[in-house]
Structure 1
Amino acid sequence: MKLIESAKEYSDVAVVVLSRKAGEGHNDIPMDVSKAAYDNNSDAYDDFPEGEHYLQLSQTEKDMVDMVCDNFDDVIVIYNGANQFELGFTDEYPQIKSVVWCPGTGNVGFNALGKVFSGEVNPSGKTPDTFIYDMTTAPWWNNGEKIEYTNLADMAVEGMNAGSPQVYAPAFTNYVEGIYVGYKYYETAAQEGFIDYDKTVQYPFGYGLSYTEFEQKMGELEEKDGQISVDVEVTNTGDVAGKDVVEVYYNPPYTNGGIEKASANLIEFAKTDLLQPGDSQTVTVTFDVEDMASYDENDAEAYVLEKGDYVISINRDSHTVLDQKTYTVDDTVVYAGENKRASDDTAAVNVFEDAKGDITYLSRADHFANYEEATAAPASVELGEPYVSEYHLNSNFDKTTYLNDEDVMPTTGADNGLTLADMRDADYDDPRWEKLLDQLTVDEMANMIAMAGYQTAAMDSVGKVATLDFDGPAAINNNFTGVGSIGFPIEVVIASTWNKELAQTWGECMGKISQEMAAEGWYAPGMNTHRTAFGARNYEYFSEDGVLAGNMGANAVEGARKYGVYSYIKHFALYEGNAKMVSIWSNEQAIREIYLKPFEVSVKQGGANAVMVSWSFLGDKWTGECSNLMNTVLRDEWGFRGMALTDFFRNNGHGFMNADAALANGVDAMLSTFNGEENNVANPEHPTSVLQMRNACKNVMYTVVSSWAYDGEHEETGMENWKKAGIGIDIVVALLAVGMEVLIIKGYKKRKNAE
């Protein structure tokens, strides 16, 4: 107790820090820690008794909180972890006055924490995810972990994980909750009277405290050219300067048993400038009417904007409505055929029926009447027909599957006098591409495709220079030399700022660093969805919401592109952890509205021209072998132009990736650093293979020629010292700016009751 007495002499305020770690190379976060290997803190008790998970207090932590609260009347709890945590205990101790959520803030972000405590800096962050009291009550709980197929155990593959041998077996996860992910479930279930919201949700999506108060006044809705605009006047009514976030949601008309719809859907947001006490700012928020359409997979098989009243609201968070207006759609609009959405190149149609499986999905019908059936643990752990007959890994894949003997060998090795530099700013459909591609040799194409790990290879026949690609979302690292850069805040922190301009600045910093390190490509940002709190790689993805994540990603991509750096948005798609060979079963509506949404926004708004493909299986097939994902949706519907790269390949494609399946279905290059059987096409002299390699090389070159390697100003890879110093100053300022937008979340219940 000497330590406690010494601390009490130093200050009458105690700070309790709780941390949780996860990351790439680890297994996913354990939902029952007793079944995992961990260091127990005592011989007298188990830190985590059977059935307790990693995102709740351990027994040692409970004892620590008791001890601190017994000795201090003013306690601050800091949670340092990227994944949501069960923080209900903070409501039980009157001594706990504040809770601060500080996920990974990078090299210098924590330097701002003391200024936040002292009031010198006023925090303005908002939660990118929903914090609930009891995760075992979440609709995903019984389907949160991968489960190995018992009838495919003999197809297990030996591999490596974090430098240690590991066996990977075919497995699956059922996304049974459909579109009701995160706040979209909790807000809808509350409206349907299915849950007691106050006893279920502790901190809503989009929630955060400030040292000042704000008032928001909503203007009238104005429609023009398929867009709705609304002015929101934000006034600082408190005593200190601060920033606020305007959150705009819509609640669509819902017919019982009809198209599934959530009652709360973020559609746009904006952050104010720093407002002094008494100052006001009018923020204009604009969004497309078509963005309120829902995907009808059962009848129209298209996006549908149903007739009726759409309630447009400005919210303090996903649950707290400040003001609202009504927008009425007089006649139902079906976006099919020629009447496509304005943002699409071609109209969306059902293409993911094979990923639905024989699964019951959660429905809002009759007040979530099928909840118990839909959210139950899987009744079967065997892969059934027809899927099991079609399931394959590399060990049983016929590499002639996609060859077509009617294909005609294209021209190779021609002397047409073109170079890749000639195609700078050329349209993807420019006829000169065909002349340029005719110059390529088979060996050049095969080498560039097979050896695309952290690089794209030089191709002398067209004057293509070699380029470098570096990892990752929070820092630029050279995987060849081990040289790294300053650590940035993780994507969860970027999302918590709800600041598009800051996200773009982050992308700009990554672009600057990439130039300094002579890299043209950036393996980031991560765009997957926080489906559950237990994804080990949630830290490198933004949010549970596709609009928030998509806007953050789009701005980061745009920022990096200002410096000629192309961003590989990843991991495309339906990937949430460290899973390999895991079949994801989901319905078409959820795939499109939830899991593809962040990628869609990054492509359409951010202009992303590179993607990294996930290790997931979509149904019974690896995502890289899913042409409907890689071609029909990504390229044909969204209008993506550029390259698609596998995730890390190793020497055997982890047992399920191979160049023949990839090239035939829209993947262009293998993230491999050494030659092997699987990263090379098996029949490089066959016309089909050459045509596929030719198309892949076009996609790679189309991306590369847009980079700083071809801007005519970077003939040398080095930079003058004064430029490096300037970049360093800019980046530290950006890091501190993000750090100052930390989240204070304690006090929601008191404030809510006061309102």
Structure 2
Amino acid sequence: MLGINIDDVLAVVKSMQTQLNAIGVILVCAVVLTIAVNKLWIKSKGTRKLVHSWTWIVAAIAALVAVSMILFGPMKTTLDLMSGSGTLSATSKAKAEKLATDIQNEGITLLKNNDANLPLKANSKVNVYGWASTNPIYGGTGSGSMNANYPTTSLLEGLKHAGLQPNDKLSKKYTNYRADRPLVGMMSQDWTLPEVPAAQYTSSDISQEKNYSDKAVVVIGRSGGEGADLPTNMHAKNIQTKPAGTKVKIQAFGGTPGSYYVNNSKDYQDFEDGQGFLTLSKTEQDLVKLVTSNYNDVTVVYNGANAMDMSWVDQYSQIKSVLWCPPAGQTGFDSLGSVLAGKVNPSGKTADTFVKDFTQTAWWNNFGHTDYTNMKEFAPTAQSTTPSFVNYVEGIYVGYRFFETASDEGLINYNDVVQYPFGYGLSYTTFEQKMGDVTYANGKVSFDVTVTNTGDVEGKTPVEVYYNPPYTEGGIEKATANLVAFEKTKELKPGESQTVKVSFKDSDMASYDTNGNGGYVLEAGEYKVSINSDSHTKIDTKSVNVTSTIKYDASNTHNGDKTAAKNQFADVAGEGITYLSRANHFANYAEATAKPTNTELADKYKDEFVNSTNVSQWLEKAKKADSDVKMPTTGAKNGVQLYQLYGKKYDDKMWDKLLDQLTVKEMRSLIEYDGYGNGAVESIGKVRQTDVDGPAALNNNFTKQGSIGLPSSVSVASTWNKNLAKEFGDIIGQMAKDMGVTGWYAPAQNIHRSQYAGRNFEYFSEDPLVSGTMASLEIKNAQAHGIYAFMKHFAMNDEEDGRLAQMHTWSNEQAMREIYLKPFEMSVKDGGARATMSAFNYVGNTWAGANKNLLVNVLRNEWGFNGFVLTDYFGGYGYMDATESIYNGGTGMLATVKTTNEVSDDSAATVSHLREAAHGVLYAAVNTYLYANGAPKASVATWQWIYYVVVAVIALLLLLAAIVSIRRFIKRRKDEKAALEEAQPAEAEGADGESTEATEGTEGAKTESAE
């Protein structure tokens, strides 16, 4: 989700235009009247001064009214959000800091450890190389940022806390080179990788470092963030490069527009053509060569969320050990020190596949977005982009599913392509896993796995369970490896064993068949169920025989669906797109995975396309289709208060009575401005509520208050520990109550379709089961504290580039059901999610925030979701429309200022959709801790108290000014009268001959008058 940027500021100014114009007119009129009074017609100084005074008093009152209209109109939502929030209790803070370390302890993954290179000896001195060692990755940018109000443990501090002794002189070399990390933001991206060129390490430097220690650690870091994907080609022809030494001025609202990087040397380019951000730069390569030529004992630490090309570590025999340390949060780098020092035995497993060559992935040619060449008329303004597209051509073969199946079918040589499989990770000890007999009865598969620590060090490990289904040539697509269950052992002492019980439903092995009306089916045949050490390495395999095909229909729905799943997304497959098929050993691989050649949207889709250029026409058709809808009751006096609905079902009859009480104005207010909270509705006792951002924390973008930043979602996924996901949700809920927050814009659970996706730090994994399991547990345990968690971004927002470019995401329905929608389905069914954030992109030909098949037919009707469906940040962007959204299942607009977030009309059809939208928002709002003990007390926002005080002071000053002006007017009138009276006796004296001079003057005047 977007943060505050220049568009927000411009929108705020635009929303105040009427009042600002009024203030301008008032000031002009006051100035004109002042000048007119002086120059034209009022001779009396007292009257003149009085008119001056009252002109400006009236102008001040009028301006105050206009300002008040701004404050209680377009600025009210923003000011309410800036009114402050609570702070963390000492208990919550300590608990969060401990959990951050616990998660990272198990999220760090040992990828290589030749010759038992790790752990290091206690109190070891160590040379820590690499600029990233002084500027590590704590989280992501955008909504994933850390809160500055809490101290952050750095990577080097984490090592020191574990008793290790980094070479401070070496570290100073990096901080002197560059102290700050380049900004990879939403408005611009500085992809610079500041690394000290090898030529700047003098012989005396190397001598000092080798004398300090014979142990070297090289840290490589990669950042990512919201708003942009990582560049797949860093060459100058693809991304702007700047000469070494260029100082980039960071401007407000995100930095210098564009995407660029600064070279580290004037003698060479850091990247050659075809090298992406997830490969080593030349400066980094030179560093690795320098270190490996001087040390025989080298450890590499990769710090980043995106699975990097690590193939280079195998080119150097001196690199004995490799650790993956995903973004660690505010205290998680203590874990890195503990792992290196052997105080913690690593038990993480990769949440993604590490590949040696990204061009060998099925997504390589179909990542990013391509503009349509026949849609220019749908660019709402000259500055906006034409609609674009991305094709998910790999179908269900995402991540390890592709590599394992392609290897089994002979398409690839596995070891040439994959370096570290999904689910891979080493330990300082060894484990043995034995699979017991498998029982298949009553739709459930069950067996025991006995895990024994066969090494010398205490440790824990996951149990990974996969299945390989029967496949019919040319039939339903099926991967040969599919994670179906996982558990993690407790800490096992050397020689200790634990029996882990595994069970899963046979329906978890079903496939989605798009033939006919579509639906889930478990085909008859032999299902090979295995326990693995990773997706590629089987430990033991047993067979489960399904004797007859099971179809999941209305009488036997799939995994608790409320209605039987059927095709809802046939159109999302697009036209003329070839999807990867396993048939004939992936015979269509070259055709399916090639770069798209057709850049025109098919006429049948173009005719149905909706954005801001034609949404009014769409609305007229929609209203006509709903012409038989009767105007709902509004403004009734039923006496129902919102708190009375706490804990009641979504379809409880009392809801109708409550909703009947709402006026159209109240409903519109409730759903049009739901950015970072939802407003008060006084008539039903609804108080203003606050929602905040952050996938690994709670960040209030307006007050800058926040919580402790926990490790990234990738770290959570890499633990393979369900209990840690539960604790994650638990502490989020606890911290939310401390802060007075009721809504959490997380967890995000899109799929790591590509290692280059910019927001992978915020999402969990390439696997839907790991993603859905961790997300649903976080949601369930956070909501137990009486908040609502927004599962996001629904759906298929799996890349950042082009997400605002009306980007059509095309996929076949089987892949959507089995891969991209599955984590959300689990979050509804298992996590009980009461809130959803839709996505920026188009799903097929329809904006996700107004996709009825997605938001109504599947989310609500199939899965049984009830509650709040919020858009992503409502900037308009030429296609987001509030009326279209509520007609198709949306319930709230993530807006704080007016864009296109206001509902267009008050027809019976529109009001009926408004009513249902309000129902969803209120259902989530009431089922929070605020209403658990009766009606909450409404509070006046801090800014309003300040406003009342300021207005009272101004009113008093204006009153005093009015009194003073009147008194001065009276005094001046008296003075003028007295002066006049003094002049009149003088004239009379001249007439009686007592003053010849006066008389002569009078006569002269009369003569002039006569003439």
Partner residue in 2 for 1:596: 821
| Corresponding residue of 2:213 | 11
1:694 correspondence with 2:915: yes
Counterpart position of 1:63: 286
SS of aligned partner of 1:655: coil
Report which of the two has the higher share of helix: 2
- 1:391-445 alpha-carbon deviations (Å, 9 max, x no partner): 2211221233321222100111111121111111111121111111111111110
Task: Give secondary structure in 2 for the equivalent of 1:493.
Answer: helix
The 5-angstrom pairing of residues 36-47 of structure 1 reads 36=239, 37-47=260-270
- How far apart are the structure 2 equivalents of 1:341 and 1:218? 28
Check whether the contact 1:530–1:576 (CA below 8 A) recurs between aligned residues: yes
**Does the aligned pair in 2 maintain the 1:525–1:556 contact within 8 Å?**
yes
- The DSSP-based 3-state class of the residue aligned with 2:765 is coil
State the partner residue of 2:669: 447
Alignment of 1:75-224 (within 5 A): 75-156=298-379, 167-224=384-441
User: 380-389 vs 688-697, which deviates more?
Assistant: 380-389
1:383 and 1:503 mapped to 2: Cα distance?
A: 42
Q: Does 1:475 align with 2:697?
A: yes
Given residue 278 of structure 2, which amino acid in structure 1 is its aligned partner?
Answer: L
Please tell me whether residue 401 in structure 1 is matched to residue 624 in structure 2.
no
C-alpha distance in 2 between matches for 1:505 and 1:483: 22
Measure, in 2, the Cα distance between the counterparts of 1:604 and 1:255.
Answer: 31
- 1: distance between equivalents of 2:384 and 2:709? 32
Partner Cα separation in structure 1 for residue 439 and residue 641 of structure 2: 50
Contact 2:643 2:934 in 1 (8 A): no
**1:426 maps onto 2:651 in alignment:** no
SS across alignment from 1:509: helix
Is the contact between residue 147 and residue 172 of structure 1 (CA under 8 Å) also seen in structure 2? yes
Helix, strand or coil at the partner of 1:41 = coil
What is the match of residue 231 of structure 1? 448
2:851 to 626, 629, 642: 626
Indicate if the aligned counterparts of 2:468 and 2:480 stay in contact, CA closer than 8 A: yes
Question: What's the offset of the Cα at 1:339?
Answer: 2.8
Supply the AA of the counterpart residue of 1:468. T
Q: CA deviation at 1:154?
A: 4.6
User: Aligned to 1:212, what secondary structure does the other structure show?
Assistant: coil
CA distance in 2, matches of 1:715, 1:664: 31
Matches within 5 A, 1:305-344: 305-344=522-561
> 1:180-579 counterparts in 2 under 5 A?
180-299=397-516, 301-358=518-575, 359-398=577-616, 399-403=619-623, 404-578=626-800, 579=803
Distance (whole Å) between structure 1 residues aligned to residue 413 and residue 934 of structure 2: 61
Corresponding position of 1:739 = none
Please name the residue that 1:748 is paired with.
Answer: none
- CA–CA distance in structure 2, aligned partners of residues 692 and 391 of structure 1: 22
Deviation at 1:524, TM superposition (A): 0.2
8 Å CA contact 1:516–1:717 kept in 2: the answer is no
Q: Does 1:583 align with 2:808?
A: yes
Deviations 1:292-324 (A, max 9, x none): 110111246111100000011111010111111
TM-score normalized by structure 2? 0.69
Offset of residue 485 of structure 1: 2.1
- Which structure's residues are more often strand, by fraction? 1
Q: Give yes or no for contact 2:517–2:567 (8 Å, CA) kept in 1.
A: no
- How far apart, in 2, do the equivalents of 1:176 and 1:667 lie? 29
- Please, which of 230, 233, 243 is the counterpart of residue 29 of structure 1? 230
For the residue of structure 2 that corresponds to 1:540, the secondary structure is coil
Note the C-alpha offset of 1:342. 4.2
Deviations 1:129-188 (A, max 9, x none): 0011000111110001111112224534579xxxxxx84431110000000000000011
Residue 194 of structure 1: CA displacement? 1.3
CA deviation digits over 1:498-546, x for unaligned, max 9?
1111011011111111111110000000010000111111110000000
- The answer to whether the Cα contact below 8 Å between 1:526 and 1:569 also exists between their aligned partners in 2 is yes
AA aligned to 1:687 is: A
- Show structure 1 runs of 4+ deviating over 3 A: 153-159, 166-169, 713-718
Aligned partner of residue 345 in structure 1, secondary structure: coil
For structure 1, which segment, 38-47 or 539-548, has the greater mean C-alpha deviation from structure 2 after superposition?
Answer: 38-47
CA distance in 2, matches of 1:406, 1:716: 41
Looking at structure 1, the residues matched to 321 and 935 of structure 2 have their Cα atoms a distance apart, in angstroms, of 50
Separation in 1 of the partners of 2:455 and 2:473?
A: 44
Kindly provide the amino acid, as one letter, of the partner of residue 402 in structure 1. A
Q: Which amino acid aligns with 1:18?
A: I
Decide which moves more: 382-391 or 502-511. 382-391
Contact 1:572 1:611 survives alignment (8 Å) = yes
Letter paired with 1:204: P
Offset of residue 222 of structure 1: 2.1
Contact 2:384–2:877, Cα closer than 8 Å, also in 1: no
Q: Tell me, yes or no, if the aligned pair for 2:380 and 2:612 is still in contact at 8 Å.
A: no
Please give the per-residue CA displacement for 1:57-91, whole angstroms capped at 9, x wherever unaligned.
11111111111100110111111111111000001
Query: How far 1:620 moved relative to its partner?
Result: 1.3
2:327 alignment partner AA:
G
CA distance in 2, matches of 1:197, 1:48: 27
Give the deviation of 1:329 after TM superposition.
0.6
Residue 205 of structure 1 deviates from its aligned partner by 0.4
Contact 2:687 2:937 in 1 (8 A): no
**Cα deviation 1:636-667 (Å, max 9, x = unaligned):** 111111110000012xx221111111001001
Root mean square deviation, CA, Å: 1.6
Structure 2 counterpart of 1:162: none
Q: 8 Å contact 1:708–1:714 — kept in the other structure? A: no
Is 1:612 matched with 2:840?
A: no
Query: Residue 510 of structure 1: SS of its match in structure 2?
Result: helix
Q: Which has the larger radius of gyration?
A: 2
Task: Give the number of aligned pairs.
Answer: 707
Q: Kindly provide the amino acid, as one letter, of the partner of residue 17 in structure 1.
A: V
* Aligned residues of 1:570 and 1:611 also touching (Cα < 8 A): yes
Equivalent-residue separation in structure 2 for 1:200 and 1:716 (angstroms): 61
Distance in 2 separating the partners of 1:514 and 1:595? 29
Residue aligned with 1:223, SS: strand
SS, match of residue 218 in structure 2: strand
User: Does residue 710 of the first structure (1) align with residue 931 of the second (2)?
Assistant: yes
- Counterpart in the other structure of 1:667: 890
Give 5+ residue unaligned stretches, structure 1.
Answer: 160-165, 719-755
Summarize the Cα distance change of 1:157–1:78 in structure 2 as closer, same or farther, 3 Å threshold: farther
Q: Secondary structure at the match of 2:352?
A: coil
Of all paired residues, the percent bearing the same amino acid is 50
SS in 1 for 2:416: helix
Tell me, in whole angstroms, the C-alpha distance in 2 between the residues paired with 1:300 and 1:259: 14
Match of 1:377, SS state, is: coil
Check whether the contact 1:613–1:647 (CA below 8 A) recurs between aligned residues: yes
Per the alignment, do residues 601 and 342 of structure 1 end up closer, same or farther by CA in structure 2, a change over 3 Å counting?
closer
